Structure 1
Amino acid sequence: MNATATLKRNGVQNIRHLSLPDLEQYFGTMGEPKFRAKQVWEWIWQKGAQSFADMTNLSKDLRQKLGEHFALPALSVDATQYSADGTIKSRFRTHEGHLCEGVLIPTEDRFTACVSSQIGCSLACKFCATGYIDRKRNIDFDEIYDEVVLLNQQSERVYNRKLTNIVFMGMGEPLLNYKNMMKAIERITAPDGLAMSPRRITVSTAGVAKGIRQLGDDGVKFKLALSLHAPNDAKRNEIMNINASNDLKSLVDALNYFYQKTKNEITLEYILFKDFNDSTKDAEELVKLYRQIPADLVNIIEYNPIDLAKFEKPTEEATAAFMAYLAKHKVNARLRRSRGKDIDAACGQLANKEAV
């Protein structure tokens, strides 16, 4: 059950699930001027109101009436951890007590919010901490929006800088929460929302071919990343259950379809695992796969150990040899050093763990 269903069962409606015309109609029935709807709209989408009490340019009586008729189930920050490298991990709590995590990743020229799309995950990828958590529910679009707002406020407070980028690379599979993911991005990019360029947003998928094709049909403007992590079906089947129903051929076809429809940037994400996918033979297969896909970049990612998985990080020599092979064969590849490892905020480590 999602958050909206829970609220409806309790007899109240989430005010953020109303359109501006809906709000105008509501205020009209109350005999209030039309501009009140615009004021409330600005509070919930631009000023980051966490409650009706925050809406200080409305009368106390009007705020009370709104509270009687509607709910404003905003996310709250439940815990925050600070890494030695400047990365900040936040654990968010939903109105009914579920937890999810988001990460603020600062670099010299970018301040990136890594957001979650589901409470837990159903894909059970063997190397990912979130994969060992049962999926409780999808995160509603307004809650995803809250993640971005809260991480932006954090960035302004700690670094005096607004977010420059957003990546859907946190907990969950975005393409299995398609409608909420799309609606969240619509609000994030709207002029009366956060007005962020869709070109600064990347959605990462473990490989939902049908969803990738749908993104193409919908003509999206944001970037797409595929969590590949293995150069052939046999190895991918070992670590990613989704490959059984979305094999590499179906993904190659879907990515080509997406690019044909959108011409948007595609990135391949490839975590290196010691003695599993880090050999010259693996690099050779990755090159062959890369040449079948209109990918702009291959991100080679350091593996970040988790308690429940058996994988290890390759040696520096093996990593260097892998990168050298890709460079020799003219693959546009970048080695991505993980951030926030000391607070379990790096790639694959999000699991709602208690701070220690």
Structure 2
Amino acid sequence: MSIAKGKNIRELSKDELIHLFDTMGEKKFRAQQVYEWLWQKHALSFADMTNLSKDLRQKLGEQFSLPALTVDATQYSADGTVKSRFKTYDGHAVEGVLIPTDDRKTACVSSQIGCSLSCKFCATGYMDRKRNLNFDEIYDEVVLINQQSERVYEKKLSNIVFMGMGEPLLNYKNVMRAIERITSPDGLGMSPRRITVSTAGVAKQIRQLGDDQVKFKLALSLHAANDAKRNEIMPINDTNNIKTLIDALNYFYKQTGNEITFEYILFKNFNDSIKDAEELMKIYRQVPADLINIIEYNPIDNADFQKPDEKTVQQFMNFLEKNRVNVRLRRSRGKDIDAACGQLANKEGAL
């Protein structure tokens, strides 16, 4: 096995590590020790691997890199939400959020540095996409947020949502590989049922999730219930219209039986009328969706949208509930530190 000098050691499988140590004349159990340091003990450098000899650590350091994510800055909201800016090995910044409630501690993680989808209501959509996060960087986000949860709340993470910066399904391989490590017994050992991947709607990749028989939940960021309005705020709808997405979601459900939710942000005088609620109800009835999450809009500098008043929100909710739609109002958390839905990377250098 030929390995390029400086290769990321976490790219190696356990079998490849065992083979490597064999060729180095090292005992097999050393490979297991290194694997544990990488995926369970969360070593940030080879120097951290204290049960290896200094000589072996030096050899590994000469041959491999270990480009771990680090916490660059942290903010604490009045409501208990914690937002972190993580720094990548090549100097990029990416944000993740710990959202605590009484019964759960949720990590909201990013999958890309920036985003290419340009949704008009989302701060990340106004950034360029610099690059995809690698699978081990996504894993590191979860590890670091879990460490925060244990430190601040003395509880481990209970849930993970891929609702941070970027479109997870446009970084498909890395997201899938990260989830494999997060759910693996020799990784973080989390149940896939406690993971939700949120997409702005990449129909082809939603179908791929079905073909791959994934075990996690899926959320579709709908935000408008007809193509004309959705085209206006989400350019991805030009190539992934609502009918195409309905077909893809039905295919996903047929293949996996996994829970599907719709996410719907209410914008004042745009998608908050009873007619909009009727159209949303019709979409809901065409998919075996478990729930519609109605989300409060969180203002950002680049966009002119406003949130509707409480009366309008209540009328919208009442209409859906009266028509036997399972709907929930999701109050935003972390607004005071720009950690709420759609606000990540809102203000340059704000942390």
Q: Same fold by TM-score, threshold 0.5 exceeded?
A: yes
1:157 is paired with a residue whose SS is helix
2:141 matched to which residue of 1? 147
1:259 pairs with one of 232, 249, 253: 253
Aligned equivalent of 1:115:
109
Q: Aligned residue for 1:284?
A: 278
Question: Pick from 291, 299, 316: which aligns with 1:297?
Answer: 291
Q: How does 1:2-13 map to 2 (within 5 A)?
A: 11-13=5-7
- Find 1:214's aligned residue among 183, 208, 212: 208
In structure 2, C-alpha distance between the alignment counterparts of 1:234 and 1:14, rounded to whole Å = 45
Structure 1 residue 25, shift from structure 2 partner: 1.3
For 1:339 and 1:329, locate their aligned partners in 2 and report how far apart those are by CA, in whole Å: 28
Deviations 1:235-257 (A, max 9, x none): 00000000000000000000000
Q: Indicate whether 1:204 and 2:198 are aligned.
A: yes
Paired letter, 1:209:
A
Aligned to 2:61: 67
Per-residue CA distance 1:53-79 (angstroms, 9 max, x = gap): 111111111111110000000000011
Whether 2:350 is the aligned partner of 1:355: answer: yes
- 1:188 maps to a residue whose letter is I
Runs of at least 4 residues off by over 4 Å: none
Question: In the alignment, residue 41 of structure 1 is paired with which amino acid?
Answer: Y
Aligned counterparts of 1:288 and 1:33: Cα–Cα separation in 2: 62
Shift of 1:26: 1.2
- After the TM superposition, which residues 305-344 of structure 1 pair with which residues of structure 2 at under 5 Å, given as runs? 305-344=299-338
Query: CA–CA distance in 2 between the matches of 1:88 and 1:128?
Result: 19
**One-letter amino acid of the structure 1 residue matched with residue 137 of structure 2:** E
Residue 104 of structure 1 corresponds to 98
Counterpart residue type for residue 355 of structure 1: A
Matches of 2:130 and 2:281, distance apart in 1: 38
Match of 2:227 in 1: 233
Three-state SS of the structure 1 residue aligned to 2:186 is: coil
Does 1:274 pair with 2:268? yes
C-alpha distance after superposition, 1:250-292 (max 9, x if no partner) = 0000000000000000000000000000011111111111111
- Residue 185 of structure 1 aligns to a residue whose secondary structure is helix
Contact 1:91–1:352 under 8 Å retained in 2: no
Q: Supply the distance in 1 between the matched residues of 2:110 and 2:154 (Cα, whole angstroms).
A: 24
Equivalents in 1 of 2:102, 2:219: separation in Å? 23
How far apart are residue 355 of structure 1 and its match?
3.0
Uncovered stretches (5+) of structure 2, i.e. residues with no partner: none
Moved more, 345-354 or 135-144: 345-354
Note if contact 1:216-1:262 (Cα within 8 Å) is conserved in structure 2. Answer: yes
* Correspondences of 1:59-98 after superposition (within 5 Å): 59-98=53-92
Shift of residue 30 of structure 1? 1.6
Partner SS, residue 341 of structure 2: coil
Shift of 1:352: 6.3
Identity in percent: 77
Q: Report the aligned-residue RMSD.
A: 1.0
Structure 2: distance between partners of 1:12 and 1:53: 16
- C-alpha distance in 2, partners of 1:290/1:233? 15
Find the aligned partners of 2:198 and 2:15 in 1 and give their Cα distance: 33
d(CA) in 1 for partners of 2:26 and 2:201? 49
